[in-house]
């Protein structure tokens, strides 16, 4: 990343980089012969995506990523809340947050290791089923049994 910043900052000044940059070691070798031309699109040349695809995708993946991080932080905050304020509100929130965090996490694992359109579809369907059953089970436990917070407390009291 530093190499790209260097090249673009040099290019904007329109000066031959070799005269004014003593530490040219940082830049990758493949780029060195190109920066003499110093076109403004040099960063586009380094970037692998064809330019006709730039900006034509949706923001779904990016939003998903952000959602994952926000959920992680929420879950982190839920731990002390569950300890100091146990009860049904925290129980159900914990059930939802844990299930979704696990669902998204396992989704990433599947994306990494499962390949082929049909297999991906099947794996994700299976995951969806698992997560649904998990959430249903946790809600059932919260409603008909002692609830998550109490369950942990009981387990630790033994």
Partner 1 sequence: MCQFYTCLKNMWFLCEMSKFWAKNTRLNRPVSPHISIYKWSIPMMMSISHRGTGVALSSGISAFALAALVLPESYPYYLDLIHSMTFGPQFLAFSKFALAFPVAYHTFNGIRHLAWDLGKGFKIPEVYRSGYIVVALTVLTSIGLATM
Read off the tokens for 23.
């530490």
Q: Should residue 49 be labelled a site residue for partner 1 when binding is judged by CB under 8 A?
A: yes
Cβ proximity to partner 1: between 93 and 134 the closer is: 134
C-alpha triplet 23, 25, 31: angle, nearest 5°: 115
d(CA 36, CA 42): 10
Q: Is 113 annotated as a binding residue?
A: yes
Residues 82-111 that bind partner 1 (CB under 8 A): 98-99, 102, 105-107, 109
- Runs of H (alpha helix) within the chain: 2-13, 17-20, 29-32, 42-46, 60-84, 88-113, 117-144, 148-157
Cβ proximity to partner 1: between 53 and 84 the closer is: 53
d(CA 66, CA 55): 19
User: Which range touches partner 1 (CB under 8 A), out of 18-26, 33-41, 83-91, 146-154?
Assistant: 146-154
Residues that bind partner 1 (CB under 8 A): 49-50, 53, 56-58, 60-61, 64, 69, 72-73, 76, 79, 98-99, 102, 105-107, 109, 115-117, 120-121, 124, 128, 130, 133-138, 140-141, 145-146, 151, 154-156, 158
């Amino acid at each position: 990343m530093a190499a790209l910043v260097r090249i673009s900052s040099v290019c904007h000044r329109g000066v031959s980089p070799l005269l004014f940059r003593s530490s040219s070691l940082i830049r990758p070798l493949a780029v060195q012969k190109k920066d003499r031309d110093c076109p403004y699109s040099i960063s586009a040349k380094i970037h692998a995506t064809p330019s006709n695809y730039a900006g034509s995708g949706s923001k779904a993946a990016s939003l998903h990523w952000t959602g994952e991080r926000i959920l992680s932080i929420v879950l982190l905050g839920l731990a002390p809340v569950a300890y100091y304020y146990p009860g049904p509100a925290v129980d159900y929130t914990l059930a939802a947050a844990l299930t979704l965090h696990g669902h998204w996490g396992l989704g990433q694992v599947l994306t990494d290791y499962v390949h082929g359109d049909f297999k991906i579809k099947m794996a994700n369907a299976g995951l969806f089923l698992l997560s649904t059953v998990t959430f249903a089970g946790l809600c059932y436990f919260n409603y008909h049994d002692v609830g998550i917070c109490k369950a942990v407390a009981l387990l630790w009291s033994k």
